[in-house]
Amino acid sequence: GENVEQHPSTLSVQEGDSAVIKCTYSDSASNYFPWYKQELGKGPQLIIDIRSNVGEKKDQRIAVTLNKTAKHFSLHITETQPEDSAVYFCAASKAGGTSYGKLTFGQGTILTVHP
Amino acid sequence: DGGITQSPKYLFRKEGQNVTLSCEQNLNHDAMYWYRQDPGQGLRLIYYSQIVNDFQKGDIAEGYSVSREKKESFPLTVTSAQKNPTAFYLCASSVLAGVHNEQFFGPGTRLTVL
């Protein structure tokens, strides 16, 4: 089955700096890669996603890049703010068979933005 | 006010007892999912359901059971057969399981076995 590895497990940055979180996946058939943000005591919330026919997607201060050949994708947050502090999860999914809608998650990254 | 509700927020149970976690959604979503979250391990899929009266095992279904009698409800029972049930449990739903649609998560239930 699919395996998703996420690094780093913790990331500490100063307000205004950029933060990058990287994920690798094992199944070359995976074609959908969402990123979730989870605040303390709450459920994860989708912040951005990318499909395999696109190499990069941007939404204001956040962007995601995908390298299908290397099977890795990354989350980039620019001009970080204290409210960006949370746990971030990457995930991978593929269409077909009984795998529809099934997400495999990375282990999570605890991002701390210091004022 | 649409969304996913999970109850209770905190749940304590004695070892050897079964316990049922509630998940309700009013988003008219077809698919519903149960995940378990442990520190440092991300989210792992327990069960999922694409339509009423049908559900599939996820990666860690042993010791758990579910039912999907209504579109809006997907309760999870943690049985005494689950060896390490203390965890944070998350329910999610999406429009249709057959395509890559956003999964919306509930606030979670933290289960502690005493």
CB A66 within 8 Å of CB A58: no
In chain A, which residue's Cα lies nearest the Cα of B108?
A: A43
Which chain A residues are within 8 Å of B74, Cβ to Cβ? Answer: none
Name A48's bridge partners.
A35
Which chain B residues are within 8 Å of A105, Cβ to Cβ? Answer: 42-44
In chain B, which residue's Cα lies nearest the Cα of A50?
A: B100
Burial B27-53 (b: 16+ CB within 10 A, else e): eebbbbbbbbbeeeebbbbbbbbbeee
Per-residue pLDDT 10s for chain B (114 aa) are 569 999 999 999 998 899 999 999 999 999 999 999 998 778 999 999 989 999 999 999 999 999 999 999 999 999 988 889 999 999 999 987 566 678 899 999 999 998
In chain B, which residue's Cα lies nearest the Cα of A31?
A: B100
Q: How close A44 comes to chain B (CA, Å)?
A: 6
Calpha distance B57→B47 (Å, rounded): 5
Calpha distance A100→B18 (Å, rounded): 30
Name A13's bridge partners.
A113
Is the pLDDT reported for residue A10 higher than 60?
yes
Give contacts of B 62-91 with A, CB under 8 A. Answer: 90
Q: Virtual CA dihedral for B11, B65, B98, B23, nearest 10 degrees?
A: -30
Calpha distance A21→A112 (Å, rounded): 13
- Its sign, for the CA torsion B35, A39, A31, A29, is negative
Which chain B residues are within 8 Å of A49, Cβ to Cβ? Answer: 100, 102
CB A111 within 8 Å of CB A86: yes
- For residue A7, the surrounding DSSP H or E stretch is strand A4-7
> What are the pLDDT digits (tens) for A29-86?
899 999 999 998 889 999 999 988 889 999 999 999 999 999 999 999 999 999 999 9
Calpha distance A115→A7 (Å, rounded): 23
CB A37 within 8 Å of CB A86: yes
pLDDT at A98: 58
